[in-house]
Structure 1
Amino acid sequence: MRTLTLATLITLAALPAAASEYTPAMQSYLENNIRNWVQSPVLVEAIASQNSQTQGFDQAAIDAMDTRWRAEVGTPDSSFTNQVLNNSAADFLREQVEKSGGRITEVFIMDAQGLNVAASSPTSDMWQGDEAKFQMTYSVGADASHFGEVELDESSRRYQAQISLTIVDPDTGAAIGAMTVGIDAEALM
């Protein structure tokens, strides 16, 4: 029993170091492949539009939307999820996935509440506000970015790392939402 506990501790201690090995590659990918399209007007306008609708939502309203999303994902009745998956911003995001040649596995944008605005493919939940991808970007400010660990993604079913960053209003420089880009782990090696 003691050997198993020690082995587990050694394994767990090694994980953060392994995850940080990807940080330089993720930073490079962000600067060279994502920054040039993150402030596209179609994304900024979609977030601003949804912010005007959701700005007064309380946690109960957010939870109700997230519950409805989770119940609908993967079912024939997708009227609610289709609002996020079938719009001009989602089309733009799918173009970025296609242009990446398989390096980007998914991409989605969130409003100031952490709710999905547009996505290249369905996410497992609608509300990202309780996750680091949102809390370490939008909540931090205009220049914030967050690099997630490499893990098996529930939505894309691939090993990926997530690069998340704040999206700002180009006129004011104020944070209006966030974006998460899933990168295939092999592309980071």
Structure 2
Amino acid sequence: MKRIVFTGALALAFLGGPAAANEFADQLTALASTDISKIVSDPQVIAAIKAQNAETSGYDQANIDALDKQWRAEIDKSNKPLIDKTLGNALSGHLHEIKERGGGLYTEIFVMDAKGLNVGQSDITSDYWQGDEAKWQETFLIGKGATHIGDVELDESTQSYQSQLSVAITDPDSGEVIGAATFGVNIELLP
């Protein structure tokens, strides 16, 4: 009964408009500074981003657009070389395990490189390039410690209300921001 009441109240808050989108900002910020901070500072995450940054550092916008176009075209096909390569890498497996251990708190997790391209992800994303979106621009481009909290939205696939929480990822050796990560957070399960 408590969950139904909470969900109903949450739906009313969501329908209330933009101010309601920030209602969970304090809880999401706390999550970013605790659990998520530990996840994104994991050596496996850092190593994967640094490796991809070395590979993509010379990419121009034409390269990025071609990869994003390829990703979007592969979504509805049976042959998905770019998607399979990304979802099949060690980082994606690691992120999928974190999502599963989260008990429903995380609806998705993906990590981006210095160009905004996906490095690893728990689930398939609709596009490969996140560099044109606030989740990357308001974290990676802002710098160390930057976070971005998205609006609360109904996730059709899980029928839960979620907010995307994005954070800049810093190389602990150099202190430089090397990438970003986005966590879909089921706000109904926030601690």
Q: For this structure pair, what is the TM-score category when the shorter chain's length is used for normalisation? A: 0.7 to 0.9
Contact 2:139 2:167 survives alignment (8 Å): yes
Match of 1:45 in 2: 47
Separation in 1, partners of 2:159, 2:41: 28
Match of 1:66 in 2: 68
Q: Structure 1 regions of 5+ residues with no counterpart?
A: 1-11
Residue of structure 2 aligned with 1:20, choices 14, 22, 42: 22
Match of 2:92 in 1: 90
Q: Secondary structure at the match of 1:27?
A: helix
Deviation at 1:154, TM superposition (A): 7.2
Match of 1:106 in 2: 108
Larger mean CA deviation between 66-75 and 173-182 belongs to: 66-75
Aligned length: 179
Deviation at 1:153, TM superposition (A): 4.5
**Normalising to structure 1: TM-score of the pair?**
0.88
Separation in 2, partners of 1:157, 1:60: 37
Cα RMSD between the aligned structures? 2.1
TM-aligned CA distance change 1:155 to 1:72, over 3 Å: farther
TM-aligned CA distance change 1:128 to 1:79, over 3 Å: same
Q: Secondary structure at the match of 2:38?
A: coil
Match of 1:178 in 2: 180
Contact 1:97 1:104 survives alignment (8 Å): yes
TM-aligned CA distance change 1:155 to 1:62, over 3 Å: farther
**Normalising to structure 2: TM-score of the pair?**
0.87
Match of 1:168 in 2: 170
**Poorly superposed stretches of 4+, deviation over 3 Å:** 152-159
Deviation at 1:157, TM superposition (A): 6.8
Q: Structure 2 regions of 5+ residues with no counterpart?
A: 1-13
Contact 2:160 2:188 survives alignment (8 Å): no
